[in-house]
Structure 1
Amino acid sequence: MIPAALQNEPVFLSVDDTTVPKFVERVLQYPHLAFICNVRSDSAMYELPPLPSGKPGRPKKRGKRIHLDDFTLSWNMDGMKFGHRIVLTHICGNRRIHAYVSCTASGSRRLFFSTLDPSTLHMSCAWQERKILRDAGMDYYPLKLYKLRWAIETNYYEQKTFWSLNAYRIRRQNGIEHRVNLVNLVHSSLKMLPYLDEHFAKYQNASPQELRSHISWQITSFVNFRGGVKVVKC
């Protein structure tokens, strides 16, 4: 349910996937609501319908099918190349959407769908960005918005995977809110620790699991030492 206060305001959703038809149907009901998402690389995409040929018969609703290799990767961001096309898809019916393909240095590709028309964004937003975005125009700006969400995804992934916080089960709303606040506080403290304590300075650019391993070893060493057994790191 979209709050009444937001039904006439532009809202941009950044989500994981839109394979659930009810989600897409609900989003498309609101003219001021748009989304960008990462979808399966084999999702069906089609060119826009060809112009009427004047020949008898019903005109085509879609052009030929498009594959990832049909995208021209002409834009660079964070060491990856991106391509962009306006396409038709099954999940969005006859609505024209923006499709983006990313390619890493190793050749791995990902596909994104966006219902946001970049031309509706205010140019001053892009003007604040680096020159490469201004030169490429506004077509790729939805990816910059999606990138903001990726930092949140990384945060939760680290919390659940590296710190084993996914093992906790809380059912009450009050307890969930307290846990989220505590988890984010602890996680932020650990991220800042290498910059605040010289002992952990070497982990400033290290992966979270490396820092976690070191802290776990420190705790285990302290517990075993207090219990009469001293652990010596080799």
Structure 2
Amino acid sequence: DHAKHNGSLYMNGHQIVSLAMTIPIYKNNEINYLTIPLGYKLYDKNFTKLELSKILIRNVMPELTEFQVIASCDSWYTKKNFLNILSEYDNLKIIGGLRSDTVLYDLKPNPTGKRGRPRKKGDRLNYRNFDFKKQNNFFVATKKCMTNLYDKPVFITVTTTDINKFTSVRMYLSTVEIDDINTKYNRKPKQESLNLYEIYNVRWNIEVMFYQQKNFWSFGEYMIRNKIAIEKYFNLIGVAYSAVILIPFINKNFQKLQFCSPQEIKYTFGENIKKELIFSKLLKIEEIKENLSHLRYLRPFKDLDNLAS
């Protein structure tokens, strides 16, 4: 619900399905993440939000065939209609939140040799009986299980603040093998093994991106009612947001702006563009006494050395 509510009938709230990409970059002996929006779809009841999310993923997966892709989502999306997209791409995995009342089963039992169809799932499991270990302020347990959401075994991680009363229970689902997490995604050999909860926390970057776009990029200030126009507006903001984040990594003249706040980069670019345009035009007016309407190519900003990294 992104539009502002100021009492006007003209401005309505809308539900938007969005896809963002978080890119890990190894720098200064640690992993830093860049999060950029890839697409927005306005929910209008022609498609469910699960279907819209799959449309967005299908749009970008052809460009990511050489990479291992992990789709991270909240518990709204970890449903059978969304998880079945895994069968379309060999390099796609999912780590997502899960409803704490999701039914869990033990792994498929060995054949008994008796007549009849063999069981696809084991006995029903209760997450309260998992082997919990204390990690910081939480008790964490991970177990390979079967669910009704996906035909193959998945890893389930459960966190709670109290293993006696089981308060603040959070559950997460992963189709990524535990060994793969610690060999492919853990860059520091001496670091303790990662768990699904820590990998899932990377998803918080998308919340930060939403907050920035809503508060500093006019995401909720549109005054249009046409669905196509609204989507174009959102995606245009996404292009501008992505540009200011990626330019410091594309052009070496702006390296000092790497990993700065998008708002800081936008302000820096905006101020220097205004100086380039205004001062250039004033100088040419002074020289030839007539107005010029053309724009020169922007030179690398000279005051980058004074920026706070």
Give 1:128's aligned residue.
188
Cα distance in 2, alignment partners of residues 46 and 67 from structure 1: 9
Give 1:6's aligned residue.
64
Cα distance in 2, alignment partners of residues 6 and 176 from structure 1: 19
TM-score (structure 2 length as normaliser): 0.48
Give 1:25's aligned residue.
84
Give 2:21's aligned residue.
none
Q: In the TM superposition, what are the counterparts of 1:131-150 in structure 2 within 5 Å?
A: 131=191, 133-134=192-193, 140=195, 142-150=196-204
Q: CA deviation at 1:187?
A: 9.2
Query: Match for 2:106: what amino acid?
Result: E
Q: Does 1:104 align with 2:164?
A: no
Give 1:195's aligned residue.
none
Q: Does 1:168 align with 2:221?
A: yes
Residues 159, 187 of structure 1: 8 Å contact kept: no
2:150 corresponds, among 83, 92, 107, to 92
- Does the residue aligned with 1:9 lie in a helix, a strand or coil? coil
Query: CA offsets, 1:178-222, max 9 Å, x none?
Result: 57889x745999xxxxxxxxxxxxxxxxxxxxxxxxxxxxxxxxx
Give 1:79's aligned residue.
137
Identity within the alignment, %? 22
Query: Match for 1:47: what amino acid?
Result: D
Where in structure 2 are there 5+ consecutive unaligned residues?
Answer: 1-57, 224-229, 245-260, 267-309
Q: In the TM superposition, what are the counterparts of 1:173-212 in structure 2 within 5 Å?
A: 173-175=235-237, 177-178=239-240, 185-186=262-263
Point out the structure with the larger helix share: 1
TM-score (structure 1 length as normaliser): 0.61
Q: CA deviation at 1:20?
A: 4.4
Give 2:270's aligned residue.
none
Q: CA deviation at 1:114?
A: 0.4
Q: Structure 1 residues 120, 157: closer, same or farther in 2, change over 3 A?
A: same
1:41 corresponds, among 100, 105, 110, to 100
Cα distance in 2, alignment partners of residues 6 and 159 from structure 1: 25
Give 2:175's aligned residue.
115
Q: CA deviation at 1:128?
A: 1.7
Q: Structure 1 residues 73, 48: closer, same or farther in 2, change over 3 A?
A: same
Q: Structure 1 residues 89, 9: closer, same or farther in 2, change over 3 A?
A: same
Where in structure 1 are there 5+ consecutive unaligned residues?
Answer: 190-234
Residues 41, 68 of structure 1: 8 Å contact kept: no
Q: Structure 1 residues 16, 124: closer, same or farther in 2, change over 3 A?
A: closer
Query: CA offsets, 1:68-103, max 9 Å, x none?
Result: 212221251x4222100101111112x011100011
Q: Structure 1 residues 61, 127: closer, same or farther in 2, change over 3 A?
A: same
CA RMSD of aligned residues (A): 3.5
- Does the residue aligned with 1:85 lie in a helix, a strand or coil? strand
Cα distance in 1, alignment partners of residues 184 and 150 from structure 2: 30
Cα distance in 1, alignment partners of residues 121 and 142 from structure 2: 18
Query: Match for 2:157: what amino acid?
Result: Y
- Does the residue aligned with 1:3 lie in a helix, a strand or coil? helix
Q: How many residues align?
A: 179
Q: CA deviation at 1:125?
A: 4.6
Q: CA deviation at 1:176?
A: 5.5
Cα distance in 2, alignment partners of residues 10 and 125 from structure 1: 10
Of the structure 1 ranges 13-22 and 34-43, higher mean CA displacement relative to structure 2 is found in 13-22
Query: Match for 2:169: what amino acid?
Result: R
Q: Structure 1 residues 20, 123: closer, same or farther in 2, change over 3 A?
A: closer
Of the structure 1 ranges 50-59 and 172-181, higher mean CA displacement relative to structure 2 is found in 172-181
